[in-house]
């Protein structure tokens, strides 16, 4: 099982379509369809989690409920999940993370990343919308720091992968990382 998580509007549906050719887009109103969507891909199950975090027009308590349901799904399926792909919007993630930090809160993307790490689920951070990022190296190095990791991008080439779901850039690299994690997970279970 491969799970995709991310805030709404980061390009998660576009990415899943790029990878699988399958359309997972929910209705126009974000947060309305909250159930995880499962699709088959190369003999595996891909799960598209509902987008989390702020969504305009979605009350705070509904956002909290979505988050809780995602956490429960991941906890309940932790032993089946071979890899997680956390999709972030590379253009706006840093700004959003810094805004949360200033308020003394843990940014939700960071929280999810650390949660997945605690459960020992191999996680790939797909830094999407790279077509909009000016200084890729700087952006990814700063993200790594925000995610609570030591070192630079050089140390985390298997975790942080810049992509453009819309234009199809680096999708092959992401696919390779997913396959690598699946292989490692199978070895662990042997
Ligand atoms: P989701 O809510 O995370 O499933 O996001 P969507 O896949 O619906 O994408 C949200 C918006 O971001 C859409 O307008 C997409 O066209 C756009 N988008 C997705 N990927 C990219 C990308 O790589 N670059 C740019 N510039 N826009 C993107």
What is the pLDDT averaged over residues 125-144? 98
Q: Is 74 exposed, middle or buried (0-12, 13-18, 19+ CB in 10 A)?
A: buried
For residue 6, list its beta bridge partners: 87
- The owner of tokens 């999709």 is 87
- pLDDT given for residue 189 in this prediction: 77
Looking at the predicted structure, is the pLDDT value of residue 31 above 60?
Answer: no
Ligand 1 mean position, distance from CA 177 (Å): 21
Lowest mean pLDDT among 61-65, 155-159, 163-167: 61-65
Mean pLDDT, the chain, integer: 93
Looking at the predicted structure, is the pLDDT value of residue 33 above 60?
Answer: no
Looking at the predicted structure, is the pLDDT value of residue 190 above 80?
Answer: no
Q: How confident is the model at residue 76 (pLDDT cuts 50, 70, 90)?
A: very high
Looking at the predicted structure, is the pLDDT value of residue 85 above 80?
Answer: yes
| Alpha carbon distance 171, 185 (integer Å) | 21
Backbone angles phi, psi at 26, to 5 degrees: -85, -175
| Contact between 51 and 63 (Cβ < 8 Å) | no
Task: Provide the residue count of the chain.
Answer: 190
Q: Which residues line ligand 1 (CB under 6 A)?
A: 6, 8-14, 51, 128-129, 131-132, 164-166
- Top mutation candidate among 11, 26, 29 for ligand 1, by most atoms within 8 Å of CB: 11
Lowest mean pLDDT among 22-26, 87-91, 149-153: 22-26
What is the pLDDT averaged over residues 12-40? 82
CA angle 85, 69, 17 (to 5 degrees): 35
Task: Indicate left, alpha or beta for 115 from its phi (over 0: left) and psi (-120 to 50: alpha).
Answer: alpha
């Amino acid at each position: 099982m491969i799970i995709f998580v991310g805030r709404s509007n980061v390009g998660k549906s576009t990415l899943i379509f790029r990878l699988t050719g399958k359309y997972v887009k929910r209705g126009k109103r974000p947060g309305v369809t909250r159930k995880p969507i499962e699709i088959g891909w190369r003999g595996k199950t891909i799960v598209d989690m509902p987008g989390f975090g702020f969504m305009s027009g979605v009350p705070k308590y509904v956002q909290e409920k979505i988050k809780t349901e995602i956490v429960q799904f991941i906890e309940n399926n932790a032993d089946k999940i071979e890899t997680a792909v956390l999709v972030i919007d590379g253009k706006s993630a840093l700004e959003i993370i810094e805004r949360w930090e200033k308020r003394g809160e843990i940014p939700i993307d960071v929280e999810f990343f650390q949660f997945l790490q605690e459960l020992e689920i191999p996680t790939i951070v797909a830094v999407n919308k790279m077509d909009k990022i000016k200084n890729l190296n700087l952006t990814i190095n700063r993200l790594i720091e925000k995610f609570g990791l030591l070192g630079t991008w050089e140390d985390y080439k298997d975790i942080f992968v810049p992509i453009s779901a819309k234009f199809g850039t680096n999708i092959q690299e992401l696919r390779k990382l997913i396959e690598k994690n699946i292989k490692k997970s199978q070895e662990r279970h042997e």
